[in-house]
């Protein structure tokens, strides 16, 4: 009975974290570890993805107050996918901002040349 409670608590925690990652993305801080792997932090929680040779087997670690939290397999995979989606959204937002700056500088160069 206790193992069922532990699994259910893992599912609920991952569900909350996924919702927070996808809805309140600006509250999560994106960092890079020494080896270049991404880490997300918010409050007491820290989520790290450790890349592997095959992306399908990337490891994900969840920490609360620097203590690793055990998660069942399927919620762990769901959390990993939510983190990947978060990273992709962050990268595409950065790409759009970078392009807007570049287009603005190109426009100002064009205006200077025409004068």
Residues 10-49 have pLDDT tens digits of 899 999 999 988 888 788 888 888 888 889 999 899 999 8
Range of the domain at 92: 2-114
Q: Per-residue pLDDT for 90 more than 90?
A: no
Neighbours of 50 (CB within 10 A): 14
What sign does the CA torsion over 23, 45, 58, 69 have? negative
Write down the pLDDT at residue 62.
93
Q: Among 9, 4, 3, 28, which residue's Cα sits nearest to residue 82?
A: 28
Write down the pLDDT at residue 108.
57
Spatial strand order of the sheet with 59-64 comes to: 29-32, 38-42, 45-50, 59-64, 67-69
Q: Per-residue pLDDT for 105 more than 70?
A: no
Q: Per-residue pLDDT for 8 more than 80?
A: yes
Cβ contact 42:20 at 8 Å: yes
Domain count, the chain: 1
In angstroms, rounded to a whole number, what is the distance separating the alpha carbons of residues 70 and 12?
A: 13
Is pTM beyond 0.85? Reply is no
Average pLDDT, the chain: 82
Q: Tokens 């996808």, residue?
A: 22
- 71: which 2 tokens? 């998660």
């Amino acid at each position: 009975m206790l193992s069922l409670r532990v699994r259910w608590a893992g599912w609920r925690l991952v569900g909350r974290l996924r919702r927070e990652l996808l809805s309140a993305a600006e509250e999560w801080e994106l960092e890079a570890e020494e080896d270049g792997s991404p880490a997300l932090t918010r409050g007491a929680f820290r989520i790290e993805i450790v890349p592997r040779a095959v992306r399908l087997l990337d490891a994900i670690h969840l920490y609360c107050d620097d203590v690793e939290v055990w998660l069942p397999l399927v919620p762990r995979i769901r959390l990993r996918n939510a983190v990947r989606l978060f990273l992709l959204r962050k990268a595409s937002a950065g790409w759009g901002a970078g392009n807007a700056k570049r287009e603005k500088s190109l426009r100002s160069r064009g205006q200077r040349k025409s004068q």
